[in-house]
Amino acid sequence: MRMKASALAHPNIALVKYWGKRDTVLNLPHQPSLSVTLEPLAVRATVQFGVAATSVVINGQPAGADEARRLLAFLDLLGAAGGARGPVRVQTHGEFPVAAGLASSAAAYAALAKAATLAAGLADDGRALSILARQGSGSACRSIDGGVCIWRRGVLADGSDSYAEQLVDQHHWPALRMIAAVVDRRHKRVSSRAGMRRSVESSPYFDAWCHDADAELSRARQFVLRRDLEALGTLSERNAMRMHAVAMSADPPLCYLEGATLDLIRRVEQARASGLPVWYTLDAGPNPVLLTDADHEAQVCALLADAAVPQVVTCRPGAGARSISEHLF
Ligand code: PMV
């Protein structure tokens, strides 16, 4: 057994969204989803088993009680799989600009799954890693591979058929750009976990949202394969708005959008009407991520500067989670 290992993983942005769990412990979704792994944002993780005492450090600070409990419960899954048990030392470090508006948990749990699996001396198999990462944070299963990944919904109760697979790697569409526009740095008021639960339990639109997902996924897959930015951008906007419509139709209603979000959406629509190829998507928060290509990146950044967006992070398709030789401790 290696006992100590480190890994790096990137976050991802879903263009066909996951919104609703059919199992809240195993993080099994009600619908399939498709995402792009994003460079240069990354989380590094080091895991060491066989230490004297357990400790969890996140971005240089001891983890809070809830966060530490969640992370240690996640690492316990490896014990159940025949890997290491006992005290463990963990550190993660996010290479994210402050409040980038992109969830770091997907990258963190993908990096942790990889590092912990190696440290426990278990087989470093892509499907097993995706299944493990999914149990830390659903969307993390889509950060084990790079490029564009599809998370299969699966039908089995144990989740063994619910994992992400790579559709194309990061070299398929190197000109694709995802530009995170941080219009609002405040912490979101309702977590994805709680928002999903409320949507599943009370939105009258929830069944329609799930019904739509398979068709959206097969369309998105074709658009990615033929690198059709206009078709993929159009689909991404529609899919994000449908996800928000489900959240807004929950009881009580849940609105993640802020005034600055709508202002930017209008600007994107106007810029597109004047010929700029730019579309938006939105996770469960107020900060849009704009889709464009390398040729129009500068114009999209100029649009964001014009809108006085306080922080902008330009991303491109990235590689999958990987082992690194430099440990965090
Ligand atoms: O995996 P979680 O619990 O962070 O949920 C992610 C949900 C969305 O980001 C809104 C959509 C998605 O598919 O990533």
- At position 153, the amino acid (one-letter code) is R
- Looking at residue 104, what is its pLDDT? 87
Pocket of ligand 1 contains residue 134 by CB under 6 Å: no
User: Considering only CA atoms, which of 38, 16, 105 is closest in space to residue 314?
Assistant: 38
- At position 53, the amino acid (one-letter code) is A
Rounded to the nearest 5 percent, the helix, strand and coil shares of the chain are 40, 25, 35
Atom of ligand 1 at shortest distance to CA of 33? Answer: 13
Share of the chain above pLDDT 90, in %: 90
- Looking at residue 76, what is its pLDDT? 92
- Looking at residue 124, what is its pLDDT? 86
The DSSP code sequence of 305-318 is: HHTT-SEEEEEEE-
- Looking at residue 98, what is its pLDDT? 59
* Residue nearest (by alpha carbon) to ligand 1 atom 9: 283
- Looking at residue 95, what is its pLDDT? 85
The predicted model scores a pTM of 0.96
Residues of the chain scoring pLDDT < 70? 1, 80-84, 98-101
Tokens 């969204």 correspond to what residue?
17
Atom of ligand 1 at shortest distance to CA of 18? Answer: 13
Q: Please give the structure tokens belonging to residue 230.
A: 């206009």
Q: Which of 15, 17, 102 to mutate to test the pocket of ligand 1 (most atoms within 8 A of CB)?
A: 17
> Residue 134 in contact with residue 22, Cβ under 8 Å?
no
Burial 113-146 (b: 16+ CB within 10 A, else e): bbbbbbbbbbeeeeebbbbbbbbbbbbbbbbbbb
Burial 295-324 (b: 16+ CB within 10 A, else e): ebbeebbebbeebebebbbbbbbbbbbeeb
Q: CB neighbours of 286 closer than 8 A, spacing ≥ 6?
A: 183, 184, 188, 256, 257, 258, 260, 261
Instruction: Determine the Cα–Cα distance for residues 157 and 69; give it in Å rounded to an integer.
Output: 25
- Looking at residue 1, what is its pLDDT? 60
Atom of ligand 1 at shortest distance to CA of 243? Answer: 10
